A and B are shown apart, each in its own frame.
Chain A
Amino acid sequence: MNENESCVVDLTRSLLKDGPSFLSHKVIITGDIAYLRPTISAMMFCAVYIVVGGGLVSLATYLLIVSTKYDLSIFVGGFGIAIGAFGIMLIQPFLRRVSFNRGLGIFDNHIDRDVKLHHIVSFQINNKMIMRKHGLNYACFELNLLTEHGRRINILNHNNEQQLIHDAALLGEFLGVEVKDYRREIIL
């Protein structure tokens, strides 16, 4: 690729298509570290799947022991494993500690390559509308960072607008970078 070649990064576009209709994380700052803490309600809703899945697997095991209904055991167990695995998959992002460490000078979200904090140019607040054909549609908000190399990485993604604005300001102040508001009117 030619080094002189330039590209345009559209900061008004949201990065993720989906998003929850509840507050998923809050920004907590302790000393030189700013990290995202998942809310208890978010963890609980993920736990529902693990509990239901685990319950069904237990029921399947019980059925296997006390009866000869193998087809029912497989059906219930299969459903249980599917739901439980789904719950585990769902809860994993909440267990990952996303942090900005001023001491080490890096941002680590355990998904993308670590970003050096001095490469972060700005934060952007974006809004989007989550549309579902057979379900509620709701407004959702993103806080994304932009690096000097044009990388955009999502930090927060939930529907509590006030909390997100507050957290964006906290992070902006913590890192000394500007927060740009790219919220716009969405015409359906």
Chain B
Amino acid sequence: MRKIRNIFIGFLVAFSTSAFAEEAGSFKQTIANFSQSVDGFFNDYTGWFVSLIFKSVPIGEVGFPIIVGWLLLAAFIFTLYFGFVQFRRAGMAIDIVKGKYTDPNSKEEGEVSHFQALTTALSGTVGLGNIAGVGVALAIGGPGATFWMILCGLLGMASKFCECTLGVKYRTILPSGAVSGGPMYYLSQGLKEKGLGGLGKVLAVGFAVTCILAALGAGNMFQANQAHAMLSYAFDVPSEYGLITGIVLAALVFSVIVGGMPSIASVTEKIVPWMAALYIGMALIVIVGNIGQVGAAFGAIFAGAFTGAGVAGGFIGALIQGLKRATFSNEAGVGSAAIAHSAVKTKEPITEGLVSLLEPFVDTVVICTMTALVITIAGLNVGPYDGSGLTGVTLTAASFTETAGIFKYLLAIAVVMFAFSTMISWSYYGLKSWTYLFGEGKTPEMVFKALFCVFVIVGATIQFGAVIDFSDAALFAMSIFNIIGLYFLMPVVKKELASFIARVKSGEIKTYEK
């Protein structure tokens, strides 16, 4: 209780006008105390949860987190079960995006064009996972972590295909007219159809609880924290001024999620693809500008993947970091993407599953690899890889800045925009889980939204530490409940896929050449 009291006192002091009026030293101390209290709180009260989720089994000299193996095994099983769908049906997925299976003359009201669908999907995949996450992976796992990220991305395509198909198939229309879908619904309804209603309910509730925690952690505090870290790096802003970053971000998030202003959401949707293009453009400039070093960078990535030189735990250490950060970035198997994809306008669940499998490829195999190449080429990330030097978003930013000083400013704009759009997305995931547990209604929804905005300020103010561990743990915990359900429901997806392919072959589903 004392910790909780300290946090509230710290919060009140931080907001009081006297704290602003006093000298910077006092303000800095207040924020440091607040930060320490919050971090201590998370350490004391959620440490057991983090330990439980990341429980490890010793492999050689290093502990291998069971949860990482759980995700990797699932992705491998789905890949085999669906007959390497991510490779064999990639062409079909691209055709769906290109509109080959959509009558160009029957465009329905509100339907987005395929180009829009593609840009939305691509922009949705680029975020802080690609920027800060890769920075963390390489700082702790060395260049070799990249190889394992790529592998995880390729296998994760099958997990995403499975969960997004189910997200659409078992979505439901709420009394308000809004569409709701995602693991909560396919776990409860899908397993009920199989006579496992009790298990489905337990899994759905477990998923919803962990999704709320992840929304507040990975989807909120981590984003706000890294946005301010980027500003600190680019403009030399003292870390204690994260409070201001937090208040500004929280006010904007508040206006969107509480006010429901459509305009800012529309503006964000329009700007984020350009930010993604800006980020990819900057990465390409660095890579092309240093084309002579790309071969050596790939050499370091492959060598590091199997030797793990300079990494605690050798190649197993590199593997763990690669897999963890890839999952954090592409969210395959976690279940969050299924919530977003369930709102799409389609009559065929499988088409959304096929389109969604492209996302881990673009996100992890292409963009994360580009970030890793930029970091490796810059040469600022040197062994031993224990995270004591530059890490996270600062490592990535410093690596970009090695090529051109202006990149840190462009990156700062991109990071703030990505953090903002990710927070909006995760507020949606969290709210869907919250309403699943507590029902639709103004009061329960407002409670979550207010809580979410407070956590933005907390996330931007505090330092890296226990909070980030908690963010990680909550995100990974979602996969426990989601993947158990996916194992039971994967025959449903296989049947959907077979039916779709058969109807395409028979001509029942027409194709339209552009």
> Which A residues are within 8 Å of any B CB, using their own CB?
13-14, 17-22, 41, 44-46, 48-49, 51-52, 55-56, 59, 69, 71-72, 75, 79, 83, 86, 90, 128-139, 159, 186, 188
* B244-265 CB contacts (< 8 Å) to partner A: 244, 248, 251-252, 254-256, 258-265
Task: Other than A52-B252, A131-B112, A138-B177, give 20 A-B pairs with Cβ distance below 8 A.
Answer: A14-B109, A18-B262, A20-B259, A20-B261, A22-B260, A44-B259, A49-B264, A52-B251, A75-B234, A128-B109, A129-B179, A132-B343, A133-B269, A133-B343, A134-B424, A136-B428, A137-B178, A138-B176, A138-B260, A188-B346
Nearest CB of A to B164, in Å: 12
A13 contacts which chain B residues (CB < 8 A)?
Answer: 109
Residues A59 and B244 in contact, CB atoms below 8 Å apart: yes
Contact B177 A188 (CB under 8 A): no
Give the docked Cα–Cα distance between A120 and B358 (Å): 51
- With both beta carbons as reference points, the residue of chain B lying nearest to A136 in the complex is identified as B428
Check B412 for interface membership: any CB of A closer than 8 A: yes
Q: Which residues of B (104-146) have their CB < 8 Å from a CB of A?
A: 109-110, 112, 120-121, 124
B340 within 8 A of A: yes
In the complex, whether B266 has a CB less than 8 A from a CB of chain A is yes
B375 within 8 A of A: no
Residue of B nearest to A47 (CB): B255
In whole Å, how far is A152's beta carbon from the nearest beta carbon of chain B? Answer: 15
Query: Which residues of A sit under 8 angstroms from B120, Cβ to Cβ?
Result: 133-134
A17 to chain B, nearest CB (A): 7
Is B267's beta carbon under 8 Å from chain A?
yes
Taking the closest CB of chain B, its distance from the CB of A24, in whole angstroms, is 10
Question: Does B428 contact A135, Cβ atoms closer than 8 Å?
Answer: yes
B262 touches A20 (CB 8 A): yes
Residues 341 to 387 of chain B near chain A (Cβ within 8 Å): 343-346
Known: A134-B428, A138-B176. A90 touches B261 (CB 8 A): yes
B237: interface (CB < 8 Å): yes
Asked whether A48 lies within 8 Å of B178 as measured between CB atoms, the reply is: no
Closest to A139 in B: B177
Least Cβ–Cβ distance between A172 and chain B, in angstroms:
24
Chain B residue nearest in CB terms to A51: B251
CA distance A20 to B421 in the complex (A): 18
Name B124's closest neighbour in chain A (CB-CB).
A134
Give chain B interface residues in 10-27, CB to chain A under 8 Å: none
Question: In the complex, what's the smallest C-beta–C-beta distance from A1 to chain B, in angstroms?
Answer: 25
Q: Which chain A residues lie closer than 8 Å to B302 at the CB level?
A: none
User: What separation, in Å, do the CA atoms of A176 and B179 have in the docked complex?
Assistant: 37
- A49-B255, A69-B236 as given contacts; A135 in contact with B110, CB under 8 Å: no
CA of A132 to CA of B427, assembled, Å? 13
23 contacts between A and B (CB under 8 A): A18-B266, A20-B259, A22-B259, A45-B258, A48-B251, A48-B252, A49-B264, A52-B252, A55-B248, A75-B409, A83-B252, A86-B264, A128-B110, A131-B110, A131-B344, A133-B343, A133-B344, A134-B421, A134-B424, A135-B425, A136-B178, A136-B260, A136-B431
The reply to whether the CB of B438 lies closer than 8 angstroms to some CB of chain A is: no
SS of A interface (majority): mixed
Rounded to whole angstroms, the CA-CA distance of A138 and B174 in the bound complex is 10
Which among A13, A19, A138 has the highest number of chain B CB atoms within 10 Å? Answer: A138
Measured in the bound complex, the distance between the Cα atoms of B236 and A138 in whole Å is: 42
Residue of B nearest to A140 (CB): B262
Assembly CA distance A139 to B267 (angstroms): 20
Who on chain B is nearest to A158 by CB?
B260
Q: How far apart sit A137 and B431, CA to CA, in the bound complex (Å)?
A: 12
* Structural contact, A71 and B235, CB atoms closer than 8 A: yes
In angstroms, Cα B250 to Cα A55, docked, is 14
B residues near A45, Cβ cutoff 8 Å: 255, 258-259, 261
Is A138's CB under 8 angstroms from B178's CB? yes
CA distance A91 to B346 in the complex (A): 35
Give the docked Cα–Cα distance between A75 and B255 (Å).
Answer: 22
Known: A45-B255, A52-B248. A130 touches B428 (CB 8 A): no
Residues of A within 8 A of B248 (CB): 52, 55-56
Closest residue on chain A to residue B425 by CB atoms: A134
What distance in Å separates the Cβ of A113 from its nearest Cβ neighbour in chain B? 25
A19 cross-chain contacts in B, Cβ below 8 A: 262
Q: Which residues, 316 to 355 on B, are CB-close (under 8 Å) to A?
A: 340, 343-346
Q: CA A59 – CA B343 in complex, angstroms?
A: 40
List A contacts of B236 (CB < 8 A).
69, 72
Give CA–CA (A118, B2) in the complex, Å. Answer: 71
Please pick, from A48, A86, A188, the residue contacting B267 in the complex, using a CB distance under 8 A. Answer: A86
Contact with A along B380-416 (1 / 0, CB 8 A): 0000000000000000000000000000010011001
CA distance A45 to B265 in the complex (A): 13
Instruction: Say how far A37's CB is from chain B's closest CB, in angstroms.
Output: 18
Q: Which residue from chain B places its CB closest to the CB of A157 in the assembled complex?
A: B262
Of the listed residues A20, A51, A130, A188, the one surrounded by the most CB atoms of chain B closer than 10 A to its CB is: A188
State the Cβ distance, B435 to closest chain A Cβ, in Å: 10
Closest beta carbon of chain A to B93's beta carbon, Å? 17
A184, B286: Cα distance in complex, Å: 53
